[in-house]
Structure 1
Amino acid sequence: MRIGFVGLGMMGLPMLENLARAPGFEIRALDREEAPFRRLAGHPAWGRGLSRAADPAALADCDLVITMLPNSPITNAVIRGAPGQPGLAQVLRPGAVVIDMGSSNPADTIALAAELAERGIALVDAPVSGAVAKAETGDLSIMVGTDAAGLAPLRPLLSAMGKVLIPAGQTGAAHAMKALNNYVYAAGLLAASEALGIAQAMGLDLAVFADVLNAASGRNVATETKVKQFILPGSYAGGFALRLQAKDLATADALQALTGFAAPQLSLCAALWQEAAAALPPAADNTEIHRYIARRPQAGTTGN
């Protein structure tokens, strides 16, 4: 199977490296940056089934193309192309499949799927969960916008990158579920950060408080995997960018308008993360929401 892989960022690069270790695939990787290819030059498959593509046109004869890009506008541009710059929609032949593994906007996914279907190209949304650590070990959870029958032919490919594959139903469902999942995670991390701030102001032992959270009903993935590991030591290196968390929350927030279902807590959470993303450096980790919360004006105070 000839595969194109577009997007070699923090998640895409280790995902590609795991995929290239699996047998039966000829892979062409596409990214504008040089750094990923310097790393790939040391991969056992480099030059023997794994090579670099210069542009989308070099993927024209691929059976399947994976995109792992930061957001919907970039994904849309790569797929739709621009004047003088053909995208995947123009270069792939009928019968090809595009798998969008980024965290895209579900409404955009549905629209793109319809556009590609007119050209005989299938689009499947398959966002991932697990951050960089699980991308490196191939232990990601992958939600797939298809049913069990549609997932079957994709399973060997996706299993090289993830251990848990969940058929989510119709096109766009996986992207919607990923955004909503990230909202629930972000709400838990935000609640833990605020609780830590209050506990610290009371002079409580934060390590003991973390133990209480994880032994009691406050337990969530943020308290289990972020508080003692990255927040209390002050390293703030959880492995997922705060700006991407804010982007995912904006995607989830937009589902209110799409569905007509009001979720005021989601709106509050999304607004606060956008505020933090605007105030913190672009490379800030998502765990730095704790640092940002601590620096905001507190109750009964003014100023910064």
Structure 2
Amino acid sequence: MSMEIGFVGLGMMGLPMLENLARSDSDDRILAHDRDPARLERLHAHPAWGRTLRGAGSLDELAGCDILITMLPDSAVTNAVIEGAPGRPGLMTLLRPGALLLDMGSSDPAQTLRLAPLLRAAGLALVDAPVSGAVAKAAAGTLAIMAGGDAADLERARPLLSRMGATLIPTGAVGSAHAMKALNNYVYAAGLLAASEALLIARRMDLDLDVFTDVLNASSGRNVATETKLRQFIVPGSYAGGFALALMAKDLRTADALQAHAGVRVGQLSLCAGLWQRALAEMEPGVDNTRIHQYLERLNASEMAAHPA
């Protein structure tokens, strides 16, 4: 039985995810919406455009969707789409009872937990299903997807999620996936920070950076950052890793809030989050997360100027 599926958010990750969603042989009808009309125009070359895939000029056109996917940058934007804004109804009002909402962005789990009962009261279900893997895996359809919510809702969402990802991990109750995603991004951010600092030291010592990267990736220092960011984007200086520094800083603020809520006071997470937040404040707007290495270079130069040997 075919469904009508809505997809809101055609950014760097959302667009390739939607393109994979629409490549299925299914008869499902897909409506895509983004507040930037230029992003919708990119879909015109998709083989399904005009048949099972078309654009929606407003949220109102998504009212008949059985499943609605959001892939938005943060909870503030997601909340505005779901709850509405002055003079503009949100999906909570527009969708029919029985519809399922999939929030695939890296939202604040506290906001996810706040929204879930409100949606339930409106007859709607919510699954938080954030992704990991960056743009390359979004394009390949090989993302890792975490999913929190009722088992029946997860099974309902599974066929759609499988079109966008290679790994689906049920995480428990609604909100749990967003919490795990924030903590995962902390571990990644700490690894990238350590790798960037080590690379800075290696460069100052005139070590061969390609060889040093090989050493890291063959040794216990290996992590996702050393495997997918150093040689590819940091050593050559392209800094095009496919994930904004601002979004990383946002995810670390979320993880830091989780730490406080859990009553953990070790301090490492707060140090990491604080450094990324300072980088966000001091770097140019819109830069990639791999430019944390460039920020460390600037920080080191500033410290050396202030405290010469």
Q: TM-score interval w.r.t. the shorter chain?
A: over 0.9
Supply the distance in 2 between the matched residues of 1:296 and 1:145 (Cα, whole angstroms).
39
Question: Per the alignment, do residues 120 and 138 of structure 1 end up closer, same or farther by CA in structure 2, a change over 3 Å counting?
Answer: same
> Are positions 1:166 and 2:180 aligned together?
no
Please state whether the residue corresponding to 1:239 is helix, strand or coil. Answer: coil
Aligned partner of 1:230 in structure 2 is 233
Supply the distance in 1 between the matched residues of 2:176 and 2:149 (Cα, whole angstroms).
8
Please tell me whether the aligned partners of residues 142 and 164 of structure 1 are also in contact (alpha carbons under 8 angstroms).
yes
Q: Post-superposition shift, 1:301?
A: 3.7
Please state whether the residue corresponding to 1:254 is helix, strand or coil. Answer: helix
Identical aligned pairs, as a percentage? 66
Supply the distance in 2 between the matched residues of 1:181 and 1:161 (Cα, whole angstroms).
20
Aligned partner of 2:185 in structure 1 is 182
Supply the distance in 2 between the matched residues of 1:114 and 1:242 (Cα, whole angstroms).
32
Work out which of the residue numbers 29, 32, 49 in structure 1 matches 2:32: 29
Supply the distance in 2 between the matched residues of 1:297 and 1:157 (Cα, whole angstroms).
47
Please state whether the residue corresponding to 1:123 is helix, strand or coil. Answer: strand
Instruction: Provide the TM-score with structure 1 as the length reference.
Output: 0.96
Aligned partner of 1:247 in structure 2 is 250
Supply the distance in 1 between the matched residues of 2:264 and 2:28 (Cα, whole angstroms).
43
> Are positions 1:75 and 2:111 aligned together?
no
Deviations 1:235-292 (A, max 9, x none): 1111111111111111111102222222411111111111111222222111111111
Supply the distance in 1 between the matched residues of 2:251 and 2:67 (Cα, whole angstroms).
26
Q: Post-superposition shift, 1:199?
A: 1.6
Alignment of 1:144-293 (within 5 A): 144-146=147-149, 149-293=152-296
Moved more, 198-207 or 88-97: 198-207
Work out which of the residue numbers 299, 302, 306 in structure 2 matches 1:302: 306
Aligned partner of 1:92 in structure 2 is 95
Aligned partner of 2:13 in structure 1 is 11
Structure 1: gaps (5+ residues): none
Supply the distance in 1 between the matched residues of 2:260 and 2:299 (Cα, whole angstroms).
30
Supply the distance in 2 between the matched residues of 1:145 and 1:282 (Cα, whole angstroms).
32
Amino acid corresponding to residue 15 of structure 2 in structure 1: L
Q: Post-superposition shift, 1:142?
A: 0.4
> Are positions 1:59 and 2:62 aligned together?
yes
Please state whether the residue corresponding to 1:223 is helix, strand or coil. Answer: helix
Please state whether the residue corresponding to 1:166 is helix, strand or coil. Answer: strand
Please state whether the residue corresponding to 1:98 is helix, strand or coil. Answer: strand
Q: Post-superposition shift, 1:150?
A: 4.1
Moved more, 107-116 or 281-290: 281-290
Moved more, 103-112 or 242-251: 242-251
Amino acid corresponding to residue 20 of structure 1 in structure 2: A
CA RMSD of aligned residues (A): 1.5
Please tell me whether the aligned partners of residues 147 and 168 of structure 1 are also in contact (alpha carbons under 8 angstroms).
no
Q: Post-superposition shift, 1:39?
A: 1.2
Deviations 1:177-209 (A, max 9, x none): 111000000000000111111122222222221
Instruction: Provide the TM-score with structure 2 as the length reference.
Output: 0.95
